[in-house]
Every structure is written in structure tokens, then in C-alpha cells.
Amino acid sequence: MTTVLSDTNGNRFELLVQSITDYAIFMLDPNGIVLSWNAGARRFKGYEANEIIGQHFSRFYTAEEQALGIPALALRTAEHEGRFEAEGWRVRKGGSCFWANVVIDPICDPMGHLLGFAKITRDLTERREAQEELRKSEERFRLLVESVTDYAIYMLDPVGTITSWNSGAARFKGYTANEIMGKNFSRFYSEEDRIAGLPSRALHTAEREGRFEAEGWRIRKDGSRFWANVVIDPIRDPMGNLLGFAKITRDLTERRDAQRALDEARDAIIQTQKMDAIGKLTGGVAHDFNNLLAVIVGSLDLARQRMASGADISRYLDNAMAAAERGATLTQRMLAFARRQELKLQSVDCIALVRGMAELLQSTIGTSVAIDTRFPLTLAPAHADPAQLELALLNLAVNARDAMPDGGRIILEASEAQIIDEAVSGLSPGSYIRLSVIDEGEGMDAGTIERAREPFFTTKGVGKGTGLGLSMVHGFSQQCGGALTIISASGAGTTVSLWLPVSQAEPAKTCDVGVDLHGSATVPLVILAVDDDNLVLTNTAGMLEDLGHTVFQAGSAADALRMLAEANVDLVVTDHAMPGMTGAQLADLIEQDHPGLPVIIITGFAELPPHASSRLRLDKPFKQAELARAVMAASHDAASGRLIRFTTPIDQD
């Protein structure tokens, strides 16, 4: 742009120019001599007007640019092209440099003759430094991203087109930057994933939720697969507009393979431990059951021999019965260990329960050990199964006796405690009854205490038991909502405590309702007994016939259905675990074909299927009295559909 001077406005323009401090505005003659100098020039360059007017403007250039003739080139360009503009380093009075934007315009008179040049300079040092710092920062980040080889880090545009590519991406995926830039990232997904829309879903999720993360198979350039962890983050401008996505991928194939190998090794170890546990269980249970079977077989053999001569055989029969009942106790222990026994949780008066089993405890542990009790005058009821609680206390008492081979004293102690902030491991805050069995025996070291609750762990030696005692008690306490604690030290005795929740209901009243097995209360019925085990079937039928009932026998569920189609019966007594069709399934079919016909299911399992929950139930092993009660309940309450369970009490001698 050519500037033409006007005398009319000269003074006014001079005042305007002289007042500007953010720009250096001065005039050069046609040869580059400085003719004027404003406040901005003085601030940028450092020269006063009397120091610089009359000097050549080339002194503002560096020595290198002066040697190259840049100042003269700038004036020629302005003269011939009407304007010159550039950015570069300029020199202040003291020799320091600043980054300047320079504009030079020619000044002509109305006739077009060149009078000089108008030169405007702006100090852009701060802006340039900021831009340079930004450039360096961007370069550092670029180098950082480019140097990462363990992660594929690259950018996508809003539709998934790849716009950057680092060395990690090249290493994982196999593509060079030239091969992949401008392509859509969906090519890294399998054909099935692309058809399912996973790539676009990932972008939509990142845009909508601010982040997307997933693991899955991805495809390399050569078609091979690798297991990847993928994170996608949206990139937005300050106004919130979506610019694209940052995608970070890590190859986890080796880690996944290592984890799978570790899992397989762990499974193998667990399987080995299971087999070891089964071996210990088999050995312990076989020992205990062989002892019991030896008593049963020997007693019955003696009874048969003595019966031939007319001698009294009641002592041998009692021995066989006691051994069988102890076998049932062992079965209950194993069910308790498996956490599979069905508890009848109710409100229990613990003081009355312990006093009621005092004679049983003393006869079980023998005369060499004394039993003392420490009970408060009153004690809140506990929430537990009374039969299983008796068994648990009996187990703890036997363990205490075994810890005192030379005799001693066992203390049974009860108290109520408030647990706050889980002060006892495994217990939620609340009110609990603490039942403790304390002995003066050998005690346990820390290692033994740590393992005492483990199944099959025992310090009694090989063949001296199953090692299920404490494990059973531990499982029972947890099922009740409580816990088991052990306090002991070598040579200082042991305190084992059962923590049971306080019941909010009144203690259940125990009443022993006798059954007249052969009296008038027994109404003769026609009963169909079903069991696939002929010995069990014969025994059950014999009990029923001895009660005065007429009994038909069926060896399978199919036989039972055929017999029901041909004859009328009043009641069906069936085993549950039968091949082909279970007792519960048989009961369902009977309900369909013979509505209202009562069915009693006999089972040795802790639980029946849900669809059998409305049936009458009798647990193995059972005595004739329990069978008689079940038959009476079935005949009196056939249409109620209510589940009634008859559990055989286990007497300890």
C-alpha cells in the first residue's frame, strides 16, 4: 500500500503516531535513513529520537542479515511490490534481540514520486516464546507417544478413521503408518465382531459415556489374532465439540496365556488336594464305620447263637442298636461338614439343654474327667437347632477329654455378649450367646489353632477319627448365623466357644409325644412300600407290618405305578434316591393320577428338590416309633400338603 502525505492532516497524524506505544512506527527516506521516531519505537528498540534519527535502519538487523543484504531487499520489495512484511530477529540498542513482525509501505507524493517508507514493527517475542513452548510441548508429547512400544496409541476422527500411528501400534498390528493412515479402525476387529457392530458401538459408548474399555480378540495385518485391552476416550475442543477419539490398545496375549496356565495349575493343585482330602475322609470314615460294623455284626451273630439256646439276647441287641445310632451320628457329622444338614432353627434354652444332656455327657467322656458348669441365673435363648447343638457340645466335650489323657476337669460356661464393630471375626454386630467348653489339657500351638477348623485335620493319630469334629461344629455355628472361636496355648488348656445369635422368640417347649405302637390308636392301613434296596425294603415293610398294616412291596418307581393302577392303597412310603425315577418324582406322578393319596418320602439326603418340599418326609436312619409317627401324621393330615419332618434322635451311650 502506498501512503500519500497531506499537509492538511499532518499535525493530527503526527500526534496519533507519537502516542502509540505498542507499535514502533517511524519513517525512512528512500535510502533507509530514519527520519522520525515514535514512543513505541523508543520502547521496543531502546533508542531515543536524537540517537537514531539520521541513522540507517539496517542497524536493527542482525549481522548475518546485514551481510545478506536483507535491509536493502526489504526496501526494494516495498518499492516495487507496494508492501513488504516479514518476521525475524531484530536488534535493540543494547545488542539484545527480540522477535518482530515488520511491515514496510512506500510513501509517495501525489505525483507518485517515492518520498520514503513507513515502517511498522511489533514486538512478538512473548507470543513467539509461547508458540515455541507449545511447539516443544507438542513435540515432546509426539516423541513420547512415538517412543511407546508396549501400547498402540493412535487417534481416530469422529467416524473412526485413523489419523495418527505410533511405533507400538506398528509392532502390535503389523501395519506401517503409510499403510494404515486414512483407513477405518474396524479392520482390527474380526468379521463376526464387525457384523455385530462392535466397532461403532465402542465409539458411540465413548462419546456418550466419556470412556469405553473392553478386552477381546483383535486381528493383525497377517490375519493372526491377539488378546487386547482397549480404551477409547473422546477428544473435544474447549466448546465441547467432538474432534475424534484417542485409542490405546495393549497386547495381553502373553499375560492371558500365563493366567490360563496358572489357572490350570491351580485347578490341578486343587484337584490333588481334593483327592488327598477324599483319601483322608475315606480312611477315617472307613475306620470308624468298621468299628461300628464290627460291634453290630458281632452282637447280632452272638444274638443269633444265644437265641437258639433260648438265652437272653437283649444285651447284644442293645449293643448293635447303640453302634448303629453312633453310625448315624457320624453321618450327621459329615453332612454338617458339608454345610448340607437341614437345621430346624428355633429358640433354645441353653441352660436347660446342657442340664438335660448332663448324664449323656458324663457317660460319654467317662469317670476320669469331671464336668463343671458356670451359668448365670438367667440367660437369653439362642437361635439354633437344639439337636445339632447337643451334638456340637458333645463333640467339643469329647475333644476336651482326649486332650486330657490322664484325666482332669471340663468346664461348660455360658454368657451373653454384645458384639460391636465385628470385634469377633465372622460375627456381625449384635447380641450373642457364648457357649464355651474349657479344658485343662495339653493346649494347642498357633499352627494347630490355625488348622483346627480344617476338615480331616486331627492330632489324634492315624485311624483315630475322621477329623470332622471341629469342622462340623464350625459349619453348624455358621449356619446358625454365629461363629466358632478357639483360645489356647501349649500346656495351658483350650477354650472353644460357640457364638450363637440371641433369639427374639420364647424357647420352644420340648415334649415327648409317645406313640402306642400296637395300641388302638394305630389304624390298620394298606401301604405300598417302595425302595430299590431289597434289604431296606424288607426292613421297612417288616416295621409297617409289625404296626398292624397291610404292606405291598415295589422295587422301583415304575413297579409302584403299575401296582397303584391295579390296587387301592391308603398310603405310599417311598425311598427318594432311586435309579430311573426319584421318590420326589414318583410323588408328583401319584399326585397327578391319584390326587389326595398321601406319600411319605424317606431320604438320607439333607435336602430334597424344591418341588418335593410339600411332601411328608422321614430321615434315615429311623426307628419304628418315628415311622409310626409319620404314618399317623399322613393318615390324619393327608390333604394338608404340609411338610412334616421326622428326625431320629441320636442317643449317645
> What are the backbone dihedrals phi and psi of residue 417, each rounded to the nearest 5 degrees, phi first?
-135, 150
Rg (CA), the chain: 49
**Among candidates 123, 129, 117, which has minimal Cα distance to 98?**
123
Indicate the pLDDT class of residue 7, thresholds 50, 70 and 90: very low
Between CA 64 and CA 70, with CA 66 as vertex, the angle to 5 degrees is 105
pLDDT > 70? residue 566: yes
Return the bridge partners of 431, or none.
Answer: 418
Q: How far apart are CA 26 and CA 36, in angstroms?
A: 5
Output the average pLDDT for the chain.
Answer: 80
Grid coordinates belonging to 389: 447343638
12-21, 81-90, 327-336: which has the highest mean pLDDT? 81-90
pLDDT > 70? residue 283: no
Architecture of domain 526-646: 3-Layer(aba) Sandwich (3.40)
Return the bridge partners of 242, or none.
Answer: 236
Relative to beta strand 3-4, strand 97-108 is parallel
HEC sequence for 321-371: HHHHHHHHHHHHHHHHHCCCCCCCCEEECHHHHHHHCHHHHHHHHCCCEEE
Q: Which residue has the higher pLDDT, 506 or 490?
A: 490
Q: How far apart are CA 421 and CA 400, in angstroms?
A: 31
* DSSP type of residue 175: -
Indicate the pLDDT class of residue 559, thresholds 50, 70 and 90: very high
Exposed/middle/buried for 441, CB within 10 Å: 0-12, 13-18, 19+? buried
pLDDT > 70? residue 505: yes
Domain ranges for the chain: 3-129, 148-251, 264-334, 338-501, 526-646
* Superfamily of segment(s) 3-129: PAS domain (3.30.450.20)
Amino acid at 68: L
Indicate the pLDDT class of residue 520, thresholds 50, 70 and 90: very low
Same topology, domains 338-501 and 526-646? Answer is: no
The pLDDT of residue 184: 93
- pTM of the predicted model, to two decimals? 0.41
Q: How far apart are CA 468 and CA 472, in angstroms?
A: 6
The pLDDT of residue 73: 93
Secondary structure (3-state) at 234: strand
Tens digits of per-residue pLDDT, 609-651? 655 555 678 877 788 888 888 888 887 655 444 433 343 333 3
Tens digits of per-residue pLDDT, 155-192? 899 999 999 888 888 888 889 989 999 999 999 998 89
Indicate the pLDDT class of residue 202, thresholds 50, 70 and 90: very high
Q: How far apart are CA 341 and CA 606, in angstroms?
A: 5
Tens digits of per-residue pLDDT, 260-273? 888 787 777 766 76
Amino acid at 178: N
Contacts of 490 (CB under 8 A, 6+ apart): 442, 443, 444, 445
Residue with cell 507524493: 109
Q: What are the angstrom distances between the C-alpha of 416 and each of 386, 435, 476?
A: 18, 9, 19
Pick the CATH number of 338-501 from 3.30.565.10, 3.40.640.10, 3.40.50.300, 2.30.40.10: 3.30.565.10
pLDDT > 80? residue 377: yes
Architecture of domain 148-251: 2-Layer Sandwich (3.30)
Look at phi and psi of residue 40 and say left if phi exceeds 0, alpha if psi is from -120 to 50, else beta.
alpha
* DSSP type of residue 94: T
Between CA 369 and CA 275, with CA 483 as vertex, the angle to 5 degrees is 85
Section 452-468 average pLDDT:
50
The pLDDT of residue 68: 92
- Alpha helices by DSSP H, 162-252: 167-173, 177-180, 191-195, 198-209
Q: How far apart are CA 220 and CA 481, in angstroms?
A: 55
Q: How far apart are CA 292 and CA 653, in angstroms?
A: 13
Return the bridge partners of 619, or none.
Answer: 603
pLDDT > 80? residue 18: no
Indicate the pLDDT class of residue 234, thresholds 50, 70 and 90: very high
**Among candidates 571, 562, 552, 564, which has minimal Cα distance to 634?**
571
Which of 64-73, 345-354, 617-626 is least confident?
Answer: 617-626
Relative to beta strand 430-439, strand 494-501 is antiparallel
